[in-house]
A and B are shown apart, each in its own frame.
Chain A
């Protein structure tokens, strides 16, 4: 077979007879092993190996030269590489080069040490010799059959002496494409439609369907989130929440409408600078607002602003250009042509935005298109509802009267209790003349108050806690700290050893923003509690029902405990206790202490207005209206978006010595690295918009290559450039440089259409090959760098979960919106020093795609971390793909995956036919897209039968597994036998754990 020579062969694959090529074989070795000491920066022994003239000059140390063209044995380079003497041998202090590597040098020198001469005077020009820094050239497509991609691939397959693998079967193909394009497996009906479609255009049609799916956009956005280091929190210390999801949804929309990648780039990097920037273009700039801020006391905002700007520099460089600029912030880049000046000149583009290091500003209100469309209707409805809520109708007047009578009657039945002894764990408490208890002195962080009292003889139904204001408290309290709020976590009543059960606590008020409800004082949860932010400066009352009437002899001593463990001195300043001796304590609503005085007696007009106003706010009859109003207000509340905003006057940028923001040196102007094409600024001083346009300029050698390579990497597991984050001299050269250039130019030819790029690659035979690894593959192309077979690898963290949700039928397919809180292991969030709590979703938000899971940087969703997601503190260009026992445990036992097994079991029973075989086939095909072989079916049937036998012996266990109480939604399956369901649940658990289920193959 005729083998076409390509410009850059894999050095590993080179045959011993071939002549080594400098750019392809020698320069990477020099860069990796030698430039560190013999490069532009360090020139040990006066020797540079990065410049042709310097390296080929005769050595001064003797009669030999460092490199004597045509005579390896006379070349000191070779002597030094081969030396046994540690002091002599190069590279110094490191392991010797391999025999193969040394042999490459020998053969290269013997063949004449051909080193392409740079025609430029400027030393930097020599860098242009590096393939990635010159623009892609349109390559000739090799002759032959198939698509251009296939011909480029086939041209190299002769090297390992392999042929392309045959097409994979249709089920495998559809599954592969579905997972690659949408991140979700195909449904059975989609499989059947595709398998049964005899038309030659079936594959193209299937691709179109997938490309049109909203899940395509979600899946592509998911990958972009890693580059954008998207998170829903600020990053440092308390790691508070921030509202970023409008940016995330912007990315989804962009992929859905196939926004050309050049526009996609410009809007994210500089949408705010576009003429008449639209709301959406401003939201797009959230890309670079995903940097972290530090609000910790004493943190220097400038330090963290500078860190954020540097992060923007690194992220822009790695995301669009596949180059690493990090090291150039402290010193000249050792391996690539980026000086410290280049770094800070690039930095200058990002250094003039109006954000600092310790807040989320600037933000803008960012209504969604749906909100804007409905805004007028909603505003009208809001006015109507508010009107209704402020009108005391005759019916309401009547109900007020009834309530007032009942309440005044019950008021007489309350007895204030005089405490006998009071003490706090830390605080000093005093009993005042009106029987109330006042806390004295500086408040501690937390405390528990205890009140010992005797109740009159009688039967008691209720307990009342009045929280009172006092002149001695900050602005009269009722809390003890400057914020005046308190959190009463737990209220407990006992008589000696006997605990008196409390239930259904009510209050006149609780703070609205969080569930700090009165009932939380008696719910047994030590973290929840009653709080009153928004009601500071007023007295409040909590009324608690006793679970059973309490008979007191008159001499019994009771103890009331008020646990206040929230911290930050959220403590009650003054309170009074009362007991109810008649009537039910469950009258609703509870009036605030200030109002009770005016009940059951004539009132003046002002008092009436106050009472009516209050009653309108609490009347049970208006509850539905109030709820609707809250809903309308919620729908009208515009989310915010963090945006880039340019300062009116640009901020001066200085070189930072050793990268320290405190050690500023000479000023630099915004410009791009010299080795890259020139910038075409619109005005004298270039800005971010110029930079963004430069990145997508036709002359730019990197942007398109880097993007197509990353897309290739996601589809095939490894990029044509394996080091997808490093296109520099330290990176690997492309295995198929011409294909890479062809794809990059094709991408621009189709106006940067990502969908078209997907179409092109997925239509190739290369993509559609079987992934089967035959012995010749393991031997000659073990890591598939020659693309001798189709791709096969585990899907990403979010994908693992999305697949299980989709297969089980639980997946909620709604797109976009605020991030959600599916169940996660307890304690994941309490780790962070902050009161913020993960409020687990109870509805369908449990089952949204992983893309929507709330991402808190200091404590990300644990299962995603287990499957190699990062914490999104920094941009991630490529996730690791590990295979660990912790992953096995998560897939087997994470309640989310167990929930999926429980739901999948029901699908097997309800949709999978009637016989055991049918159900197994249904489940197997659902999970893997193919039908099981006979042995596979037998394994699963034996598992089912063994489980059935086991659960017949233990129906209690069966119920626990198959009908868990933790599930929020009823499956409506009272007709199903729990024992059988449990056995199927175990089978489903096995199916969801198959390597094949979580692997794209």
Chain B
């Protein structure tokens, strides 16, 4: 289709605004600014290409990349050959982030068992996920092209290993807009000691209009930047300031006729509404105690569990794409703080209960049907022990050739395991799913054809999936 030019877009918006008369100014302005569904803004596509199976996504990104071999993909062969040198032909010509020489195979210290009616195999580190095993689809055949964190995370989030492309959330905001007038379409929350290595670029809008970038909700201070009035300024004062601003700006609008002033007035009103709606949204103490306990959420703390509960509250209110990052899965085994014996179980403890709770809670509320939940890291981990500088702690290096993700809800076939890896877990042997395939599938579930969701920049049409990607049909319900 012909790509709408910014000038046309602006003209359309202005027409919409000017034609609005006394109708809700705020909601109209929002069409431009928060990417409302099917608006005349021009920066948005006309909604889904076909009937969607899911309306929204909660994406749980495990930054640092969890070990699939200790959580999802049991390998008896590794146990049989524990600490034996890896067959050399397997690693011929391979580049690793840290491994040097010929590494040794490493058995998982954890037991696996089958769960639920579906018999999904899960590690003992994930007892809560085991309880919802029938609800999730496990993909053991993920693979990527990147083996360093920042490029890996960028690739996973934007379809390109370097900066500059829009993230999936931005594409969805651009393609579908938000269902809520008072909240952004794309919200990001972080937990753990650090943010993801890819930084702000992971939720950047790239060449898409900046209104589509992810808005970070923070667990410390204001949930949205600068939401609180300065100390000493009472809500009454804020209201009076906005009233004065509105009169003064309206006078100017009458004098100059610049519709941008009208948009500005609307934005100030929306900001004021957000000052009320957002704090209410993040007050998890409003949730019944049993719900908080289900997640393991505690008001006032900055945790993955809290963020999961908030994610549910956000999608309930129509936010299109909620992305959670949890740091600390980079299990190299250089010390107990990054090994698979001490650190990996800690990460599981921090996340397992909340992940399962999120699925149960969404299901209870009837939201799981049209909410897609995705869990995974940016790549996998090696079947070999890393032993960096002769470290005696057990750990695994970065591994792009095979890793595991799981999906649940919104149009995903529950209770299945898709794909397989070889007996050592080194390479994918069945139903490979590339990062582009994952993107194509997510868009498909949201009713978008990944080949048609395009944006013209630098003289060509860009897609989230570049020139690749095919929908993983076997994943679909």
Q: Which residues of A approach B to under 8 Å, CB–CB?
A: 32-33, 93-95, 97-98, 235-237, 239, 292, 294, 296-300, 307, 324, 326-327, 333-336, 426, 442-446, 567, 569, 718, 722, 725-726, 728, 730-732, 771-775, 777-778, 782-783, 785, 792-794, 825-827, 830-833, 857-860, 862, 865-866, 868, 871, 873-874, 880, 882-890, 892-895, 898, 933, 935-936, 939-940, 942-943, 946-947, 950, 954, 957-962, 964, 982, 986, 989-990, 993-996, 999, 1001
Expressed in whole angstroms, the Cα–Cα distance for A866 and B210 within the complex equals 9
Which of B193, B251, B260, B460 is the one whose CB lies under 8 Å from A933? B251
Please name all residues of chain A whose beta carbon is closer than 8 Å to the beta carbon of B221 when the two chains form the complex. Answer: 825-827
Contact in complex: A950, B237 (CB < 8 Å)? yes
Please name all residues of chain B whose beta carbon is closer than 8 Å to the beta carbon of A990 when the two chains form the complex. Answer: 241, 244-245, 248
Contact mask for chain B residues 233-262; partner A; CB cutoff 8 A; 1 contact, 0 none: 110111011011101110110011111110
Binds A, one of B68-76, B169-177, B224-232, B349-357: B224-232
B135 at the interface (CB under 8 A from A): no
Contact in complex: B232, A871 (CB < 8 Å)? no
Expressed in whole angstroms, the Cα–Cα distance for A894 and B271 within the complex equals 13
Contact in complex: A883, B230 (CB < 8 Å)? no
Which of B5, B163, B199, B226 is the one whose CB lies under 8 Å from A893? B226
Q: Which residues of B approach A to under 8 Å, CB–CB?
A: 1-2, 5-7, 10-11, 14, 18, 29, 32-33, 95-98, 147-151, 162-164, 190, 193-195, 197-201, 204, 209-211, 215, 218, 220-222, 224-234, 236-238, 240-241, 243-245, 247-249, 251-252, 255-261, 263-265, 267-268, 270-271, 274-275, 327, 335-338, 342, 391-393, 398, 452, 456, 458-460
Contact in complex: A883, B263 (CB < 8 Å)? yes
Whether A859 touches B335, Cβ cut-off 8 Å, given contacts A792-B258, A886-B224, is no
How far is the CB of B1 from the nearest CB of chain A, in Å?
4
Which of B96, B218, B261, B342 is the one whose CB lies under 8 Å from A827? B218
Contact in complex: B337, A732 (CB < 8 Å)? no
Whether A445 touches B335, Cβ cut-off 8 Å, given contacts A95-B2, A335-B460, is yes
Expressed in whole angstroms, the Cα–Cα distance for A782 and B234 within the complex equals 40
Whether A296 touches B234, Cβ cut-off 8 Å, given contacts A334-B460, A826-B220, A892-B241, is no
Please name all residues of chain B whose beta carbon is closer than 8 Å to the beta carbon of A833 when the two chains form the complex. Answer: 194-195, 197, 327
The closest CB in chain A to the CB of B14 belongs to: A782
Expressed in whole angstroms, the Cα–Cα distance for A295 and B271 within the complex equals 41
How far is the CB of B95 from the nearest CB of chain A, in Å?
7
Contact in complex: B201, A873 (CB < 8 Å)? yes
Which of B2, B195, B240, B241 is the one whose CB lies under 8 Å from A832? B195
Q: 14 A-B Cβ contacts within 8 A?
A: A294-B148, A298-B398, A442-B393, A783-B10, A885-B267, A888-B264, A889-B227, A889-B271, A892-B271, A898-B230, A943-B243, A994-B248, A995-B265, A996-B248
Please name all residues of chain B whose beta carbon is closer than 8 Å to the beta carbon of A996 when the two chains form the complex. Answer: 248-249, 252
How far is the CB of A999 from the nearest CB of chain B, in Å?
8
Contact in complex: B260, A883 (CB < 8 Å)? yes
Please name all residues of chain B whose beta carbon is closer than 8 Å to the beta carbon of A95 when the two chains form the complex. Answer: 1-2
Expressed in whole angstroms, the Cα–Cα distance for A996 and B261 within the complex equals 9
Whether A778 touches B257, Cβ cut-off 8 Å, given contacts A336-B459, A831-B199, A860-B200, is yes
Expressed in whole angstroms, the Cα–Cα distance for A718 and B10 within the complex equals 12
The closest CB in chain B to the CB of A725 belongs to: B458
Contact in complex: A445, B232 (CB < 8 Å)? no
Please name all residues of chain A whose beta carbon is closer than 8 Å to the beta carbon of B209 when the two chains form the complex. Answer: 880, 882
Expressed in whole angstroms, the Cα–Cα distance for A943 and B241 within the complex equals 7
Contact in complex: B335, A783 (CB < 8 Å)? no
Whether A296 touches B148, Cβ cut-off 8 Å, given contacts A892-B226, A950-B237, is yes
Contact in complex: A1001, B228 (CB < 8 Å)? no
Expressed in whole angstroms, the Cα–Cα distance for A887 and B215 within the complex equals 12
Contact in complex: A335, B148 (CB < 8 Å)? no
Please name all residues of chain A whose beta carbon is closer than 8 Å to the beta carbon of B232 when the two chains form the complex. Answer: 957-962, 964, 982
Contact in complex: A888, B268 (CB < 8 Å)? yes
Which of B11, B259, B336, B459 is the one whose CB lies under 8 Å from A327? B459
Q: How many A-B residue pairs have CB under 8 A?
A: 282
Contact in complex: B33, A889 (CB < 8 Å)? no
Please name all residues of chain A whose beta carbon is closer than 8 Å to the beta carbon of B228 when the two chains form the complex. Answer: 893
How far is the CB of B61 from the nearest CB of chain A, in Å?
14
Contact in complex: B190, A882 (CB < 8 Å)? no
Please name all residues of chain A whose beta carbon is closer than 8 Å to the beta carbon of B264 when the two chains form the complex. Answer: 883, 888, 995
Expressed in whole angstroms, the Cα–Cα distance for A179 and B32 within the complex equals 27
Please name all residues of chain A whose beta carbon is closer than 8 Å to the beta carbon of B10 when the two chains form the complex. Answer: 783
Expressed in whole angstroms, the Cα–Cα distance for A726 and B244 within the complex equals 43
Whether A892 touches B225, Cβ cut-off 8 Å, given contacts A874-B163, A939-B244, A939-B247, is no
The closest CB in chain A to the CB of B194 belongs to: A833
Contact in complex: A862, B225 (CB < 8 Å)? yes
The closest CB in chain A to the CB of B275 belongs to: A889
Whether A885 touches B194, Cβ cut-off 8 Å, given contacts A298-B95, A871-B163, is no
Expressed in whole angstroms, the Cα–Cα distance for A851 and B268 within the complex equals 27
Whether A774 touches B261, Cβ cut-off 8 Å, given contacts A297-B98, A885-B267, A893-B227, is no
The closest CB in chain B to the CB of A1001 belongs to: B256
Whether A884 touches B256, Cβ cut-off 8 Å, given contacts A939-B244, A990-B244, is no
Given contacts A785-B7, A893-B226, A993-B268, 11 further A-B contacts (CB under 8 A): A235-B163, A722-B6, A773-B258, A825-B222, A873-B163, A882-B33, A883-B260, A883-B263, A884-B267, A964-B232, A994-B252
Expressed in whole angstroms, the Cα–Cα distance for A667 and B281 within the complex equals 60
Expressed in whole angstroms, the Cα–Cα distance for A237 and B163 within the complex equals 12
The closest CB in chain B to the CB of A732 belongs to: B5
Contact in complex: A885, B274 (CB < 8 Å)? yes
Please name all residues of chain B whose beta carbon is closer than 8 Å to the beta carbon of A888 when the two chains form the complex. Answer: 264, 267-268, 270-271
Please name all residues of chain A whose beta carbon is closer than 8 Å to the beta carbon of B263 when the two chains form the complex. Answer: 883
Expressed in whole angstroms, the Cα–Cα distance for A885 and B264 within the complex equals 8
Contact in complex: B225, A825 (CB < 8 Å)? yes
Whether A884 touches B257, Cβ cut-off 8 Å, given contacts A426-B336, A993-B241, is no
Contact in complex: B204, A783 (CB < 8 Å)? no
Expressed in whole angstroms, the Cα–Cα distance for A794 and B267 within the complex equals 14
The closest CB in chain A to the CB of B278 belongs to: A889
Expressed in whole angstroms, the Cα–Cα distance for A327 and B458 within the complex equals 8
Expressed in whole angstroms, the Cα–Cα distance for A782 and B200 within the complex equals 35
Expressed in whole angstroms, the Cα–Cα distance for A239 and B200 within the complex equals 12
Contact in complex: A874, B240 (CB < 8 Å)? no
Contact in complex: B231, A832 (CB < 8 Å)? no
Please name all residues of chain B whose beta carbon is closer than 8 Å to the beta carbon of A994 when the two chains form the complex. Answer: 245, 248-249, 252
Please name all residues of chain A whose beta carbon is closer than 8 Å to the beta carbon of B247 when the two chains form the complex. Answer: 935, 939
Expressed in whole angstroms, the Cα–Cα distance for A327 and B222 within the complex equals 42
Contact in complex: B240, A946 (CB < 8 Å)? yes
Contact in complex: B257, A858 (CB < 8 Å)? no
Expressed in whole angstroms, the Cα–Cα distance for A825 and B29 within the complex equals 28
The closest CB in chain A to the CB of B270 belongs to: A885
Whether A885 touches B271, Cβ cut-off 8 Å, given contacts A778-B257, A831-B190, A892-B241, is yes
Expressed in whole angstroms, the Cα–Cα distance for A876 and B226 within the complex equals 27
Please name all residues of chain B whose beta carbon is closer than 8 Å to the beta carbon of A324 when the two chains form the complex. Answer: 458-460
Contact in complex: A950, B335 (CB < 8 Å)? no
Please name all residues of chain A whose beta carbon is closer than 8 Å to the beta carbon of B164 when the two chains form the complex. Answer: 873-874
Contact in complex: B201, A32 (CB < 8 Å)? no
How far is the CB of B150 from the nearest CB of chain A, in Å?
5
Please name all residues of chain A whose beta carbon is closer than 8 Å to the beta carbon of B226 when the two chains form the complex. Answer: 825, 886, 889-890, 892-894
Please name all residues of chain A whose beta carbon is closer than 8 Å to the beta carbon of B150 when the two chains form the complex. Answer: 236-237, 294, 296
Please name all residues of chain B whose beta carbon is closer than 8 Å to the beta carbon of A943 when the two chains form the complex. Answer: 240-241, 243-244
Expressed in whole angstroms, the Cα–Cα distance for A745 and B11 within the complex equals 33
Contact in complex: A960, B248 (CB < 8 Å)? no
How far is the CB of B413 from the nearest CB of chain A, in Å?
29
Contact in complex: B220, A827 (CB < 8 Å)? yes
Identify the interface centre among A300, A777, A889, A894: most chain B CB within 10 Å of its CB: A889
How far is the CB of B244 from the nearest CB of chain A, in Å?
4
Expressed in whole angstroms, the Cα–Cα distance for A884 and B258 within the complex equals 16
The closest CB in chain B to the CB of A723 belongs to: B5
Which of B7, B227, B260 is the one whose CB lies under 8 Å from A793? B260
How far is the CB of B5 from the nearest CB of chain A, in Å?
7
Contact in complex: B199, A857 (CB < 8 Å)? yes
Contact in complex: A445, B18 (CB < 8 Å)? no
